[in-house]
Amino acid sequence: MVLAVTDARSHYVPGQDRKQSLRAELLGLRRSMPRAQLEIVSGALTRELAEHPLWLGARGIAAFVGVRGEVDTRPLLERCLGAGKSVWLPRLTGPGRMRFWPCVDLDRLERGAMGLLEPPIHGPGELAPGPERGVDLILVPGLGFGRDGARLGFGAGHYDRALATRHGDPSLTMPTLCGVCPVAFVDPPGGPIPMLGHDLAMDYLATDAGVERCVARPGA
Ligand SMILES: Nc1nc2c(c(=O)[nH]1)N(C=O)[C@@H](CNc1ccc(C(=O)N[C@@H](CCC(=O)O)C(=O)O)cc1)CN2
Ligand SMILES: Nc1ncnc2c1ncn2[C@@H]1O[C@H](COP(=O)(O)OP(=O)(O)OP(=O)(O)O)[C@@H](O)[C@H]1O
């Protein structure tokens, strides 16, 4: 006899439940962090990353402008532009979709959906800029990260979807992916952040405690 399973969990994806509850937990933690503490964290993270070979060796970066409880990345972006390196920033282009555009002046950012600060559009932009455009490093935002490279975002798949286009093309080299968040959001309690099939692993994490290389968990 064949039983048709038609309940609400017929689209159940293992790991999604844990991601969803962790998302709520970390968003609460992010919102409760006092502004003064976030400033201290942002300052320490900027110092750590700005001295690291990963940063110093990058000809250009793709990054994000920290808003609402995120690490303030502006000092890093200013430094990058000041050193003559290119800075590419994401801009939402549709549901679950974004592209990157080069930005030469942080005073010209535009206020987008969800309070995001986005670059003005000049030309076609890039879905996933990489070394052939001088972008050697991508700073990736996240609610939390694992030292194994796992990332928890907002659940819209913006980064995974955009970067998958490059990951799936053997003729294109992947830039180094570096997750950015306060150290308090790394390896949250309750077990590893689930990594699903589409989740791209970070190569490094940059926090107020330093820059560290991610190490895949045995058997993961
Ligand atoms: N600064 C920044 N830029 C970014 C991202 C990001 O995480 N941070 N993104 C990463 O993919 C993309 C935008 N995706 C986003 C998707 C959802 C939410 C969001 O829901 N933010 C709210 C939570 C919901 C609410 O408004 O209450 C928040 O910040 O509190 C933000 C950005 C591209 N640019
Ligand atoms: N390469 C991809 N192609 C199509 N859909 C994708 C791809 N990557 C992710 N998605 C979809 O995006 C949604 C969100 O994925 P996930 O739960 O991993 O979010 P997240 O990585 O935590 O958040 P975000 O990337 O928005 O910051 C899922 O429904 C997933 O199926």
CA of 44 from ligand 2 middle (Å) equals 30
| Residue 193 to residue 188: CA distance in whole angstroms | 8
- Our answer on whether the CB atom of 38 is closer than 6 Å to any ligand 1 atom is no
Mean pLDDT of 176-185: 98
List the domain range (segments joined by +) for residue 198.
Answer: 17-213
Q: Is residue 12 part of a domain?
A: no
CA of 36 from ligand 2 middle (Å) equals 32
Query: For position 146, which CATH number holds?
Result: 3.40.50.10420
Q: Is residue 165 part of a domain?
A: yes
Asked if residues 150 and 199 have their Cβ atoms less than 8 Å apart, the reply is: yes
Q: Is residue 203 part of a domain?
A: yes
Tell me the per-residue pLDDT of 73-130, one tens digit each, with 9 for 90 and over.
Answer: 999 999 999 999 999 999 999 999 999 999 999 999 999 999 999 999 999 999 999 9
The pair phi, psi for residue 102, each rounded to 5°, is: -70, 145
Closest C-alpha residue for ligand 1 atom 17: 154
Contacts of 208 (CB under 8 A, 6+ apart): 40, 41, 42, 44, 45, 48, 182, 183
| Residue 32 to residue 182: CA distance in whole angstroms | 13
Ligand 2 atom closest to the CA of 23, numbered from 1? 22
CA of 153 from ligand 1 middle (Å) equals 8
ipTM entry:
0.92
Question: Cα angle at 204 between 153 and 147, to 5 degrees?
Answer: 70
Q: Helix, strand, coil proportions of the chain in percent (round to 5)?
A: 35, 20, 45
Tell me the per-residue pLDDT of 3-40, one tens digit each, with 9 for 90 and over.
Answer: 444 444 456 667 888 999 999 999 999 999 999 999 99
| Residue 150 to residue 202: CA distance in whole angstroms | 7
| Residue 90 to residue 146: CA distance in whole angstroms | 23
Tell me the per-residue pLDDT of 61-73, one tens digit each, with 9 for 90 and over.
Answer: 999 999 999 999 9
Candidate from 39-43, 47-51, 142-146, 197-201 with smallest mean pLDDT = 197-201
- Our answer on whether the CB atom of 100 is closer than 6 Å to any ligand 1 atom is no
The first and second tokens of residue 27, run together, are 């968003």
Give the model's pLDDT for residue 218: 84
User: What burial class does residue 135 get, using C-beta atoms within 10 Å of its C-beta: 0-12 exposed, 13-18 middle, 19+ buried?
Assistant: buried
Q: pLDDT-derived band of residue 168, with 50, 70 and 90 as boundaries?
A: confident
Q: pLDDT-derived band of residue 1, with 50, 70 and 90 as boundaries?
A: very low
Give the model's pLDDT for residue 219: 74
The first and second tokens of residue 208, run together, are 């107020």
Q: Is residue 9 part of a domain?
A: no
Q: Is residue 23 part of a domain?
A: yes
What is the tally of structural domains in the chain? 1
Q: Is residue 2 part of a domain?
A: no
Answer whether residue 205 shows pLDDT above 80. Answer: yes
CA of 185 from ligand 2 middle (Å) equals 20
The first and second tokens of residue 92, run together, are 């939402």
> Which residue type occupies 113?
A
| Residue 41 to residue 18: CA distance in whole angstroms | 27
Q: Is residue 6 part of a domain?
A: no
| Residue 161 to residue 67: CA distance in whole angstroms | 22
Q: Is residue 1 part of a domain?
A: no
Percent above pLDDT 70 for the chain:
94
